[in-house]
Amino acid sequence: EEEYAEEEKKCKTTDECDPCIRNTDFAGPDPQAPWFNLGENTGFSEIKLDIPIKFPDLGTPDPVDSVEYHYAFIDTNVFDGLKYSYSVTAYDIGVPAADTILTDQNTLEISSIEDPGKWSLQNPYSYLENPKGTTIHDRNFDNVIPGYTPELGQTLNVKVVPNPYIVHSKFNESEYLRQIRFTHLPTKCEIQIFTVSGEFVFKLDHASEVDGNAVWDLRTINNQEASPGLYLFSVSSPGRETFIGKFAIVR
């Protein structure tokens, strides 16, 4: 049993309580505005799974997430290298405003009933959305950058995106965030970047069992911004031939 107290008002909940629902449907006509139809499509039928699934939790020693998921949304309209934000939020119909009734027609006494549904001890609220899941500090909010999984074959075919890199191309960057991505990488490798004259520019060490991408912030080994021009890069991985490629930076 749990007890919540606010000033002199108390609310008790037990396992035997009725379900915490308001008996108002989200579909069909709006009970507060019958001329407005809420529709019948919640969208959940399209993402409902025939068989519940579990996902491996790679962030903990436990290899299996014990939670069963009954719904799954797969976003296929994405571009590699761009950041996408996803959020799961809950909403409800809110608490209706106060009901005003005429208690005595002779004296014109008027009574105002706060929260006629008895869902709020304080002033009723009307917001539909829940603030949870709207910031990066909430577990229901997540940023995802699509990309390739590690290359498992013996032959490497590493790509650079974007190539050529055009400064101020608005490719998900700002004045303080400029980067290119090496994709189709193996689980473990070393990337070395050179100018066409053979001058060493930078080195990246990549090691990941799930991510086949590495990012370079266009800063040299001396922490200077890389100059426009043509660059060569090599990707060396144990048990594989070294891959040689090139990319360009254009102002």
In a domain, 115, yes or no: no
List, for residues 70-114, the tens digit of each pLDDT value: 888 888 888 877 788 888 776 555 555 555 556 566 655 555 555
In a domain, 118, yes or no: no
Chain centre to alpha carbon of residue 243: 34
- CATH number for the domain including 171? 2.60.40.1930
List, for residues 120-177, the tens digit of each pLDDT value: 544 444 545 555 556 666 777 888 888 888 888 888 889 998 888 887 665 656 555 7
| Pair of tokens at residue 182 | 């090496």
In a domain, 22, yes or no: no
List, for residues 163-214, the tens digit of each pLDDT value: 888 876 656 565 557 888 899 999 999 999 999 998 999 999 999 888 889 9
Report helix, strand or coil for 45. Answer: helix
Phi-psi map region of 172: left, alpha, beta (phi>0 left; psi -120 to 50 alpha): left
Total domains present in the chain: 1
In a domain, 219, yes or no: yes
In a domain, 23, yes or no: no
Cα(131)–Cα(138) distance, integer angstroms: 10
* Domain around 187: 159-250
In a domain, 135, yes or no: no
Burial classification of residue 95, based on how many CB atoms lie within 10 Å of its CB (0-12 exposed, 13-18 middle, 19 or more buried): buried
